[in-house]
């Protein structure tokens, strides 16, 4: 009985560490998958799409279609009530048609604020400032949970890597 209790006391902290690591990994994978989805949708639909993090507020992210107006850089662009998902109409001549769901970071994780634009040719551009600029060195997104971090990088060719 005493041996079992001793083993349990040793195992509990190890199991907690595994649980924390898994929660951080899950949150990171969710953002990485959304980046991959944005790239594939941009290519498949021949339209520029952006993944915006911490939009409309901290802890949220969303794929949004580039409209070519000042609305592209506003935080209301991620607002699900202003720009619902799925789109209110099915007319391809009106935009936006390819916005994604407003998603919340998993497990109380946080992510750095950024906006990555994927073009129809699959390339990625940094649109964090509101204006898309060519990526010269890979852009990093850092996902944090309880002091631990994981990084996702996106290069100019649109390759998304989880570190």
> Going by C-beta distance under 8 Å and a sequence separation of 6 or more, which residues neighbour residue 55?
61, 62, 75, 77, 78, 113, 115
Predicted confidence (pLDDT) at residue 111 exceeds the cutoff of 70: yes
Q: How confident is the model at residue 17 (pLDDT cuts 50, 70, 90)?
A: low
Query: Using one digit for the tens of pLDDT, what is the confidence trace for 42-94?
Result: 999 999 999 999 988 899 999 999 887 777 777 788 888 888 888 777 777 77
pLDDT above 90: percentage of residues in the chain = 60
Cβ atoms of residues 22 and 16 within 8 Å: no
Predicted confidence (pLDDT) at residue 9 exceeds the cutoff of 70: no
Q: Does domain 2-162 have CATH number 3.55.40.10?
A: yes
Q: What per-residue confidence (pLDDT) applies to 38? A: 97
Beta-bridge partners for 59: none
Cα–Cα distances (Å) from 83 to 31, 65, 93, 147, in that order, read 21, 10, 16, 34
Q: What per-residue confidence (pLDDT) applies to 107? A: 85
Predicted confidence (pLDDT) at residue 15 exceeds the cutoff of 80: no
For residues 146 and 124, what is the distance between their CA atoms, to the nearest angstrom? 30
Predicted confidence (pLDDT) at residue 13 exceeds the cutoff of 70: no
Q: What per-residue confidence (pLDDT) applies to 60? A: 94
Q: What per-residue confidence (pLDDT) applies to 18? A: 59
What does the domain layout of the chain look like in residue ranges?
2-162
Predicted confidence (pLDDT) at residue 36 exceeds the cutoff of 90: yes
Q: Model-level pTM?
A: 0.85
Q: What per-residue confidence (pLDDT) applies to 20? A: 80
> Residue 51: exposed, middle, or buried by beta-carbon count in 10 A (0-12, 13-18, 19+)?
buried
């Amino acid at each position: 009985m005493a041996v079992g209790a001793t083993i349990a006391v040793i195992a509990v902290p190890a199991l907690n560490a595994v649980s924390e690591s898994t929660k951080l990994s899950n949150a990171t994978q969710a953002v990485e998958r959304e980046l991959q989805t944005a790239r594939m949708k941009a290519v498949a639909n021949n339209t520029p799409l952006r993944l915006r993090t911490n939009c409309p507020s901290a802890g949220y992210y969303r794929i949004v279609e580039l409209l070519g107006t000042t609305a592209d850089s506003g935080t209301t662009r991620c607002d699900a009530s202003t720009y619902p998902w799925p789109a209110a109409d099915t007319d391809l001549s009106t935009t936006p048609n390819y916005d994604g769901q407003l998603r919340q970071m998993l497990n109380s994780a946080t992510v750095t604020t950024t906006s990555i634009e994927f073009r129809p040719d699959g390339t990625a551009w940094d649109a964090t400032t509101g204006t898309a600029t060519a990526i010269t060195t890979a852009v990093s997104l850092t996902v944090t949970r309880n002091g631990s971090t994981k990084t996702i990088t996106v290069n100019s060719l649109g390759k998304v890597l989880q570190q």
